[in-house]
Amino acid sequence: MLSYFLRRCLNIIPVLFVVSILAFAFVHLLPGDPARMMAGSDADPATIAMLRHELGLDQSLPVQYLTYMGKLVKGDLGKSLRTKTPVFQEIKQRYLPTMYLAVCGMVWSVVIGVLFGAIAAIYSGRWQDYTAMLLAVSGISMPQFWLGLLAIQLFAVYLGWVPVAGFSGKFSELILPSFTLGATVAAIMARFTLSAFLDVLDEEYISTARAKGLSESTVLWKHAFRNALIPVVTMIGLQFGFLLGGSVVVETVFAWPGLGRYMIEAVAVRDYPVLQALLFLYSFHFVFINLLVDMVYAVINPEIRYT
């Protein structure tokens, strides 16, 4: 297990190298000139050229990439073109709010999604199944911004149970945005859990367990549910990566001081160092989460061994 983990960690290095190339190419393909945007629409060509030189944008793309990689291997993400502040410090301030939001959203989605999916599988063809799947389809179909606005209007404005927007460190401020973020994923998890559960219930060892006289609850939760969790864990890992990188809409609706809003602000002014750092960070999240998912497989099913 340890040797497999170390090999996978080494394999992350070439993946991140390719990601750095793609991230650099992507941000430089965006239309618009950062120097012109910073200088203003009334700036003369000489001022824009001077600003491009100060930012290093007058150099060739290979030279800019080598400069970027030279700083990256030293842990230097560069400075924001807009604020002149080190990108690392900017991300550090916004990382925890986004992580809190993603983790709480994942908790909502796992608890609700797995519960609804299991109920739909156990009571397949009954009203519980139809009700759970109706809610799941509604969650997938409902836009996040609309759900967020409805939640604010009902629970924050009308009932006054939770704060409207913003984040100052209180748990109550996490409830609405995390639920809004996790609602879509919960619907996906419900449908995926239902499919995995039904596949397991058709296996012969489930029929054998029932033939031995085991109680239905033992068959369902000890034998079926545990084996059905393996594909569900894969989906949880992937969806958590999407929650970390896909919270832009929710952070905008709830004025959340996270990485999603930071990326929108960076795109608006073509802040290359910020965009490159965020794309690199999001890619690292996906790679590392996939590695953790593989490790969790062995915990769920001891028959799985990595060499």
136 and 240 co-located in one domain = yes
113 and 259 co-located in one domain = yes
124 and 172 co-located in one domain = yes
- Among 76, 104, 126, the domain-final residue is 76
165 and 59 co-located in one domain = no
- Among 43, 76, 109, the domain-final residue is 76
- Among 24, 46, 76, the domain-final residue is 76
Query: What is the number of structural domains in the chain?
Result: 2
In a domain, residue 11? The reply is: no
49 and 126 co-located in one domain = no
152 and 276 co-located in one domain = yes
293 and 188 co-located in one domain = yes
In a domain, residue 282? The reply is: yes
Residue type, 131: T
Classify residue 120 as exposed, middle or buried by CB count within 10 Å of its CB (0-12, 13-18, 19+).
Answer: buried
The domain that contains 141 carries what CATH number?
Answer: 1.10.3720.10
Which ranges in 73-203 belong to alpha helices (H)? 87-122, 127-141, 144-151, 172-201
> Cα(211)–Cα(249) distance, rounded to whole angstroms?
51
Backbone phi and psi for residue 215, each to the nearest 5 degrees, phi listed first: -65, 155
In a domain, residue 251? The reply is: yes
Q: H or E element: which one contains 247?
A: none
149 and 216 co-located in one domain = yes
In a domain, residue 172? The reply is: yes
In a domain, residue 139? The reply is: yes
Identify the three-state secondary structure at position 196: helix
**pLDDT per residue rounded down to tens, the chain (307 residues):** 667 677 777 878 888 888 888 888 888 887 877 777 777 767 778 888 887 887 787 888 888 888 888 888 888 888 888 888 888 999 988 888 888 888 898 898 888 888 888 888 888 778 888 888 888 777 777 888 888 888 888 888 888 888 877 787 788 888 888 888 888 888 888 888 888 888 887 777 777 777 877 777 777 777 777 777 777 777 787 788 778 776 788 888 888 888 888 888 888 888 888 888 888 888 888 888 877 877 776 666 656 555 5
- Provide the 8-state DSSP code for 58: T
In a domain, residue 26? The reply is: no
Taking CA atoms, 168 is separated from 136, 174, 182, 236, 243, in Å, by 32, 10, 21, 28, 21
Range of the domain at 45: 34-76
> Cα(109)–Cα(250) distance, rounded to whole angstroms?
15
> Cα(261)–Cα(266) distance, rounded to whole angstroms?
9
Q: What is the pTM of this model?
A: 0.78
> Cα(101)–Cα(247) distance, rounded to whole angstroms?
8
109 and 212 co-located in one domain = yes
Which ranges in 202-271 belong to alpha helices (H)? 204-211, 216-218, 225-245, 248-253, 259-269
